[in-house]
Amino acid sequence: MQNVVVLALLALQVGVKVFALVDALRHRSELYPAAGKRTKGLWLAILGVTLAVQVAILYPLNFLNIIGLVAAAVYLVDVRPALRSLTGRGGAGGQHMGPYGPW
């Protein structure tokens, strides 16, 4: 049972990190500073290193893998919405704007 839980955590961590890295690759470089975030190169380096460490150390409860998961989560909950709001996909740039913001 323990192996199943560890394998599920590993799959979840790899999935989150790959999704964050691919999403970071999709956005143009000039959007990052325009959104008030660090550069695209820095985010690609952070997310790439976290994925490489995850592949090198397959145990999901390793300290470095947990730190990498936190870095990917920061990208997904902070940087990604800011970038999407500038591109018109989700966030404040969407078509469904009400008097107090998007709906």
Residues recorded for the chain: 103
In one-letter notation, the amino acid at residue 46 is I
Q: Which of 65-69, 81-85, 88-92 has the lowest mean pLDDT?
A: 88-92
Please tell me the pTM assigned to this model: 0.83
Residue 96: pLDDT band with limits 50, 70, 90: low
Burial 49-85 (b: 16+ CB within 10 A, else e): ebbeebeeeeebeeeebeebbebbeebeeebbebbbb
Q: 21 or 89: whose pLDDT is higher?
A: 21
Average pLDDT, the chain: 91
Q: 51 or 93: whose pLDDT is higher?
A: 51
